Chains A and B, each alone.
Chain A
């Protein structure tokens, strides 16, 4: 029922969503913490830059990334001269593209969560002998866990449905850079509605299950007393 190529597309999709979300969470945590607490004036510029992928058409984003990461771009060109491959039409390129594409969806909840954590809690931790790094891991992160959960889910789900950036940057190489959303588009173009249905239904069910799991977790967190 599910062709090997479609299964491959699903696999690439999930791998891409998982990897880019994981890297984003690690990179965005310090950045969001800094944005939530800095009083630096240039902060506005960084905030705008972080939110830019939200308003840009994905094709514009994909286009610039293609140029940048391709063999003649700054990044791609440098990599080639160092003996590596350029990143256009590669899975690594897709990860970079997805990360930029989903950046606002991770930054926004994380920054909000860190801002909402009252400075008081960190002061309390300081009077209880916790060093700054200790305070971050033992108080700030646990208190922001709903923010982390929201960020992870939004980023994952957003990457699942990604289309524009990938079609510009990744080409459509089955098994390597072809993701589910593009495979569905291909099936529809080829009038193969049955295959499009199968793939779409799998995405709908999986996304729904994911959200149910998340809301379940969120409720569990609530009981523990976040926000009280």
Chain B
């Protein structure tokens, strides 16, 4: 009964949806820093905790793990209460995986020893993943007998992800897993993270201050500022909301969800379908049917009222103007565009906007070049597949890791 009351309180306090998997409320005052957040995280997909350093991202992640114990906090994962006024489940009794910023492998154990460390501490009946599946998922077969100091940064991080997954977590927490890596290692590990994203059916909380990573990996976003939640929602919505700093930053961009239709080998192009429109991009080495995330930078989108004849720009998307808002630079405006279920933002000159008399509700053509950054994706919306274990989804046939 007591338990029910607290949960109801938590719900009313934070006005959270009942369908969500993880609900949390953390509060602490430390000197001049106040953390005061209440949020819920969907049961599936990657939720990015995004914000500047000092915004409280890592503190929240540590609170979720139980590495920090803040009084007056509440945390519930599914039907399990991890923290409330009466109880605090210690870290080692929480079914979670934590990937730290630096790989933090145990130097006295081989890769195999590191991987088995957590695996062996989970009762066989509670294991939902197998050792072989996991090392195959992360490509660790050839590293097992090595010691951590003989691995590259990217390999180490892959091992530490595998180590965390082998505890059959119900929640995966990742604290800037790429931040300590150089660009080569980052490029090496990103496809693995995307693959992970595709095959995991547990909520993943991903802390990052890199919008590139977030745009590539996340499904949802929790935007933090000075210890508070500024906004939260599906990634595309968050990237395009003109009232948020994301759309207003100089290199603002949006993410389109597209499906590969075919390839034009002669011109080195791939043809994608996106929100009912056809989108050409530079050749992507994936099979038709593969879903891609296409990143479009706001300043690379031009707008025309009629489809331009004799233009070098390959893509001309028929869109509706949704919003027009000020850009931090007075010479520019941000134009929110929609087509089908997709959203775009264009950063165009104020003078051009006035000349075209662009206004919300109007039809307009968005002109985009083919040089767009694409990454493999399986996008989800909140509430799908509320399966709370780490069983890997069946891999699609023809799945490839080529970037």
Indicate whether A and B interact.
Answer: yes
- A interface residue numbers (CB < 8 A to B): 120-121, 123-132, 134, 138-139, 142-143, 145, 224-228
A55 CB to nearest chain B CB (Å) = 35
Please tell me if B117 contacts chain A, counting CB pairs below 8 Å. Answer: yes
When A and B form their complex, which 4 residue pairs have the shortest distance between CB atoms, in order from nearest?
A: A128-B118, A127-B98, A129-B121, A228-B149
Question: Could you list 20 further interchain pairs (A-B, Cβ under 8 angstroms) beyond the known A128-B118, A143-B108, A228-B149?
Answer: A121-B106, A124-B98, A124-B100, A125-B106, A125-B117, A127-B91, A127-B167, A128-B164, A129-B93, A129-B118, A129-B121, A129-B122, A138-B117, A225-B108, A225-B148, A225-B149, A225-B150, A226-B107, A226-B108, A227-B107
Tell whether A127 pairs with B107 under 8 Å between CB atoms, given A225-B147, A228-B148.
no
Considering the complex, give the chain A residue whose CB is closest to the CB of B99: A127
Considering the complex, give the chain B residue whose CB is closest to the CB of A143: B108
B93: chain A residues within 8 A (beta carbon): 129
| B107 with A128: CB separation less than 8 A | no
Tell whether A126 pairs with B107 under 8 Å between CB atoms, given A138-B117, A224-B147, A228-B148.
no
Interface 1/0 per residue, B77-111 and A, CB below 8 Å = 00000000000001111001110101010111000
Considering the complex, give the chain B residue whose CB is closest to the CB of A142: B108
| B100 with A130: CB separation less than 8 A | no
Q: Which of B67, B121, B167 contacts A123 (CB 8 A)?
A: B67
B117 CB to nearest chain A CB (Å) = 5
A127: chain B residues within 8 A (beta carbon): 65, 67, 91-92, 96-98, 118, 164, 167
Please tell me if B197 contacts chain A, counting CB pairs below 8 Å. Answer: no
Please tell me if B163 contacts chain A, counting CB pairs below 8 Å. Answer: yes
What is the bound-complex CA distance between A138 and B109, given in angstroms? 10
| A131 with B107: CB separation less than 8 A | no
Q: Which of A120, A142, A224 contacts B100 (CB 8 A)?
A: A120
Tell whether A124 pairs with B106 under 8 Å between CB atoms, given A131-B92, A228-B149.
yes
Interface 1/0 per residue, B117-158 and A, CB below 8 Å = 110011000000000000000000000000111100000000
6 A-B contact pairs sorted by A residue (CB < 8 Å):
A121-B106, A124-B98, A124-B106, A129-B121, A134-B92, A143-B106
B167: chain A residues within 8 A (beta carbon): 127-129
B173 CB to nearest chain A CB (Å) = 8
Residue among A123, A124, A130 with max Cβ neighbours from chain B (10 Å): A124
| A225 with B107: CB separation less than 8 A | yes
What is the bound-complex CA distance between A130 and B122, given in angstroms? 10
A129: chain B residues within 8 A (beta carbon): 92-93, 118, 121-122, 167
A130: chain B residues within 8 A (beta carbon): 92, 117, 121
B96: chain A residues within 8 A (beta carbon): 127
What is the bound-complex CA distance between A128 and B117, given in angstroms? 7
Residue among B108, B121, B167 with max Cβ neighbours from chain A (10 Å): B108
B120 CB to nearest chain A CB (Å) = 9
| B104 with A121: CB separation less than 8 A | yes
Q: Which of A126, A143, A224 contacts B91 (CB 8 A)?
A: A126
Considering the complex, give the chain B residue whose CB is closest to the CB of A138: B117
What is the bound-complex CA distance between A225 and B111, given in angstroms? 12
B149: chain A residues within 8 A (beta carbon): 225, 228
| B104 with A224: CB separation less than 8 A | no
Considering the complex, give the chain A residue whose CB is closest to the CB of B168: A129
